[in-house]
Amino acid sequence: MKVVILAGGFGARLSEETQAMPKPMVEIGGKPILWHIMEIYSTYGYNDFIICLGYKGDIIKEYFSKYYIYNNDMTVNLKDNKITLHNKNHPEEWNITLVNTGLSTATGGRIKKIEKYLNNETFMLTYGDGVSNVNIKELIEFHKKHKKLATLTAVHPEGRFGALQLEGDKVVNFAEKRDNELAWINGGFFVLEPKIIEYIIGDETMWEKEPLEKLSKEGQLMAYMHHGFWKCMDKLYDKLELEKMWNSGKAPWKIWND
């Protein structure tokens, strides 16, 4: 199953960092938050990624094209024009498709632009700025059990995101950006059937607006309720808080072994 990561936004609320790089490349513990997200999926055996690029996407392309150079010691012999890499012990088995989905394309439009890479198969989707200790195996089993077109991971942090109205596990109303501290919210970590592409009109379609709203009204959107850790790196405060967790050696989302 492929994992699609939305990594093309401007990250305006984190401008202290994103003037120089796209938000998914902002580092936590010396690694881009994008790397952390990919490690979460990889821990469960999902190593086939599609990354939707936009703002400063070339920086993400360069990072992965030179991944071993950035993550290993090296000897450069200028006379022979030869580079020797040392301690190449990285366990990643990632296959990464990097797709330019447009500078100003909305989240739904980005998903539509990578349709040809999905092979008409069930896929996973998440945002390039949120980490969690969500159990991916249980999430997928939940999705398969209910046999609906879409499953999102519902989380319960401070109320500054889209509120979900639930009946059991079913989302009956999806309302983005509602100020309700008691609400479950959209935490990303979706499992989706390829038919959801039909709910996306074009480049300007926000995934969090018409598509999810329509899916919920049709009874095709389920909520996997995650009671554990989830955090979105929305502002500088969030980045510093995640950094503090990582440096403590007790980052809740670090479910993989070094």
- Provide the phi-psi class of 54: left if phi over 0, else alpha when psi is between -120 and 50, else beta: alpha
Could you tell me the domains of the chain? 2-247 (3.90.550.10)
Is the pLDDT at 126 greater than 80? The verdict is yes
* Residue 140 three-state SS: helix
Looking at residue 26, its pLDDT comes to 96
Least trusted range by pLDDT, from 51-60, 136-145, 163-172, 208-217: 163-172
Is the pLDDT at 168 greater than 60? The verdict is yes
Amino acid residing at 182: L
Gap between the Cα atoms of 217 and 206, Å rounded:
17
For 234-247, what is the mean pLDDT? 94
Looking at residue 163, its pLDDT comes to 59
Gap between the Cα atoms of 39 and 138, Å rounded:
17
Is the pLDDT at 32 greater than 80? The verdict is yes
Is the pLDDT at 153 greater than 90? The verdict is yes
Is the pLDDT at 93 greater than 80? The verdict is yes
First to last CA, the chain: 24
Higher pLDDT, 5 or 70: 5
Q: What is the DSSP-derived secondary structure letter of residue 123?
A: E
